[in-house]
Structure 1
Amino acid sequence: MSDARLAEVAARLVRVDGVVGVVLGGSRARGTHSADSDTDLGLYYRPPLDVAGLGVLARELAGPGARVTAPGEWGPWVDGGAWLTVDGAALDWIYRDLGRVERTWDDAERGRYTFHVQAGHPLGVADFAYAGELALGVVLADPGGELAALQARTRQYPPALGDALVAGLWEADFLVGVARKAVPRGDAAYVAGCLFRLVGVCTHALHGAARRWLINEKGAVSSAAGLPGAPPRFREEVDGLFAVVDGDPLRLSAAVDAAQDLVLATADACAMMTR
């Protein structure tokens, strides 16, 4: 979809009751999209949201089969929205309750965060991702100026959040210990789960140390590996962990040993980055 068409859609969306503004997100906002990439529009709203009005607009744009969800229908943190095809292109509407975005930003400024259970997010949704999405997005429509004002604040990464994410490396170290207890049983599934979460904690710690937003598990390892000051061969080391996870206790033990080395390397890198 052209930029002009997106601007037109955004202008129509903010005329729906409850919609405060519209933000372009995802790869399109970052300039890393390809011809077959979906286009993500964040619909920032304050309740009550006129879902029926959104449905009317969706059907006008995408045809009679288009459907929008009620808030919360996709889960507690991926709030809801619509998967549409407009002008032959995939266009996703994703709800964001602006009050919740503001609250999670306040928490991030104070160094408070939680990973929340959400289908499709095996590590969990980091609540500060709401602020990061806005910081990294492109505001397309914002009649009242609320999004622009909040975006200006979120583009300054909160040092307290970065410090908290680095301090959160204690969990990665803890996961090494509990994974090691499963090695004699050859419990590859449990070890793999521990290693996945361990890697996620490390990627967030590195981004926190670098004062860079990380808002999704997808691509997190590559993103962390590309940070200035990241451990050498971070991505290769992570890939190596999962290459040897099977039911053989010797190979599982080697994977856990390598994970411990990765945590130590991450801690050293974070210390250097925050000096």
Structure 2
Amino acid sequence: MGTELFEKKATLDAMVSALKDVEGIVAIVLGGSYAAGLANEKSDLDIGLYYSEKSPFDIEKVRSIASSFSIAGMPLVTDFYEWGPWVNGGSWMMTAIGKVDLLYRNIDQVQQTITDAVNGIWQHNFDQQPPFGFRSIIYLGETQVCKPLFDPQNILQGFKALITPYPVKLRQVVISDSLWLAEFTLMQCVSFASTGDTYNTVGCFTRIVNYLVHALFAINETYPLGDKRAVQIISSFKRAPLKIEEKLNRILGQAGSKADELMGSTDLLKELWQEVVALTDGEYEPRFKVSLD
């Protein structure tokens, strides 16, 4: 183990040792890129703090622990749900081993989200975080990859069992919703592009790409962890359009500003949508009989 990793592990162990004694914290996990095996030298250390809605932990005690590890003064430590309904609070701090994030997770909300997902229900909160908001099934991705560091009741192990394998109903709904919404947005996109409306056309492009990304995650029965590295991840899938990252870079990076340029990029995006639809092997059917032409 390198010196840097050794120091990070030592700090992580020390933080867990302090946090696990806070009444109300029922589980602590390593999450994010380190848990998923995607970390680099710039990656933050993400620590998930799980609590029950009926008996949440004392924020002041967590603030005191966070301040003891901070090397930049009093760190930001929020109350519950100050960051929004899904990324529902935590702390950002600079420590001796780099950036560390504490992220709160309500076990009752996580459990309900998993139950909903198994029954084919997912939610989207656009304003939670840039660029595309937060999809509820990210909770399932977090659950799958997280490394429990303190979990005396085996809560996370139980959650992991509930989401393995990928739920059939969830797969069907995500594919159907994502590809239909991409198709519907393409209709509007053609209209905007034909008049040289760059603002609305490019907005449609990014919206459509986000839908295609979620469709591909579902086709490959993989839970997303967020938008960061999503394109690189789908490029590695067994079932994905060839050279998809290259195609997306061309569509989004060279959209143009004139009507003919915007229409050219729209046509390329339409072709990519058709490639993703083909990967469903006839499973996808549009909700309404319409034409993209």
Contact 2:24/2:52 (8 A) holds in 1: yes
- Structure 1: any 5+ residue segments left out of the alignment? none
Q: Does 1:218 align with 2:232?
A: no
Q: Does 1:105 align with 2:104?
A: no
> Taking structure 1 as reference, are residues 272 and 42 closer, same or farther at Cα in structure 2, changes over 3 Å only?
farther
Q: Does 1:126 align with 2:135?
A: yes
**1:122 aligned counterpart, secondary structure:** coil
TM-score (norm 2): 0.88
**1:70 aligned counterpart, secondary structure:** coil
1:61 to 58, 65, 69: 69
Shift of 1:238: 1.0
Q: Which amino acid aligns with 2:47?
A: L
Contact 1:229/1:273 (8 A) holds in 2: no
Deviations 1:138-167 (A, max 9, x none): 111112221222123234322221121111
Q: Which amino acid aligns with 1:65?
A: M
Distance in 1, matches of 2:31 and 2:211, equals: 24
Distance in 2, matches of 1:18 and 1:156, equals: 31
Contact 2:118/2:163 (8 A) holds in 1: no
Alpha-carbon RMSD across the aligned residues, in angstroms, is: 1.9
Alignment map for 1:220-259 (pairs within 5 Å): 220-259=230-269
1:139 to 136, 144, 148: 148
Match of 2:9?
3
Q: Which amino acid aligns with 2:29?
A: V
Q: Which amino acid aligns with 1:180?
A: V
Match of 1:196?
206
Distance in 1, matches of 2:246 and 2:266, equals: 15
Shift of 1:272: 8.1
Deviations 1:164-210 (A, max 9, x none): 11112111111110111112331112111111111111111111111
Percent of residue pairs identical: 28
Match of 1:160?
169
Deviations 1:24-57 (A, max 9, x none): 1111112222233211111111233311111111
Return structure 1 stretches of 4+ with deviation > 4 angstroms: none
1:52 to 47, 54, 60: 60
- Structure 2: any 5+ residue segments left out of the alignment? 1-6, 285-293
